[in-house]
């Protein structure tokens, strides 16, 4: 349709607001991820630990993706909010576990190895399970209520968070300890080569 000078078409309504909200949420999610990794590096001062957290976070989203696929495969605004929430929960539990490993090694003089990894995972088992169970039980009423009017955001968000809680809990108890056992040990600096004295 032709428009007179000074006039232009503009799409308004729910679709435009949803598109703008999604774009803003993606940006905020990326900034949150960068902030999480920056805080991890500031806490541990280790590029290896930061890399372990960065690698493990995407695996925590697997449960949310599966949950979305099983419930129709529609990625709504609520689902995106759920993914951001899952990343935060997974990062928190991962930092708790890695921090306990560092505590055992530095303050309780445990040698890095299988025993340290198993003990750290065992001692953090109950706190991680309690966090996941409390959050999951709080989401059950939203999931049972279904996608009723007024729950257009809360219902898909609850589905993604519950699925993400399952995968992130398994991640923190199974995958992350294995990754730490394989890559968590900082390599010592190589000894300096002895200086050869010049013969007179």
pLDDT digits (tens, 9 = 90+) for 184-194: 776 554 554 55
Q: Answer yes or no: are the C-beta atoms of 162 and 66 closer than 8 Å.
A: no
Shortest CA distance to 40 belongs to which of 108, 102, 84? Answer: 102
Give the residue-averaged pLDDT of 74-97: 84
Residue/partner pairs of 118-126 with CB below 8 Å, 24 or more apart: 118/177, 120/177, 121/97, 121/173, 121/177, 124/96, 124/97, 124/100, 124/172, 125/173
Widest CA span in the chain? 94
Instruction: Identify the H or E element spanning 32.
Output: helix 14-44
Q: Please report the pLDDT score of residue 200 as a whole number.
A: 41
Q: Please report the pLDDT score of residue 152 as a whole number.
A: 72
Instruction: Identify the H or E element spanning 170.
Output: helix 154-170
SS3 assignment, position 117: helix
Helices (H) then strands (E): counts for the chain: 8, 0
d(CA 105, CA 116): 8
Backbone angles phi, psi at 8, to 5 degrees: -150, 150
CATH T-level assignment (fold) for domain 17-183:
Multidrug efflux transporter AcrB transmembrane fold (1.20.1640)
Q: Please report the pLDDT score of residue 188 as a whole number.
A: 54
Shortest CA distance to 70 belongs to which of 163, 165, 166, 169? Answer: 163
pLDDT digits (tens, 9 = 90+) for 120-171: 989 988 888 888 888 888 888 888 877 777 677 788 888 888 998 888 888 8
d(CA 29, CA 21): 12
Q: Please report the pLDDT score of residue 189 as a whole number.
A: 47
Give the residue-averaged pLDDT of 41-67: 85
Q: Answer yes or no: are the C-beta atoms of 97 and 177 closer than 8 Å.
A: yes
d(CA 117, CA 89): 21
**Mean of pLDDT over the chain:** 81
């Amino acid at each position: 349709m032709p428009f007179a000078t000074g006039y232009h078409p503009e799409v308004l309504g729910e679709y435009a607001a949803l598109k703008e909200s999604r774009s803003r949420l993606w940006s905020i999610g990326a900034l949150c991820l960068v902030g999480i990794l920056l805080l991890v590096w500031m806490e541990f001062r280790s590029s290896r630990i930061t890399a372990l957290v960065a690698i493990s976070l995407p695996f925590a989203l697997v449960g949310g993706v599966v949950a979305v696929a099983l419930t129709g495969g529609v990625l709504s605004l609520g689902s995106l909010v759920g993914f951001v929430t899952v990343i935060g929960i997974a990062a928190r539990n991962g930092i708790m576990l890695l921090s306990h490993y560092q505590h055992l090694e530095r303050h309780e003089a445990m040698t890095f190895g299988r025993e340290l990894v198993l003990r750290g995972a065992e001692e953090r088992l109950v706190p991680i399970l309690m966090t996941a169970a409390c959050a999951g039980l709080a989401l059950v009423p939203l999931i049972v209520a279904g996608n009723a009017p007024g729950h257009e955001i809360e219902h898909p968000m609850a589905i993604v968070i519950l699925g993400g809680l399952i995968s992130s809990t398994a991640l923190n108890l199974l995958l992350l300890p294995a990754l730490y056992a394989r890559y968590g040990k900082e390599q010592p600096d190589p000894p300096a080569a002895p200086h050869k004295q010049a013969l007179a």
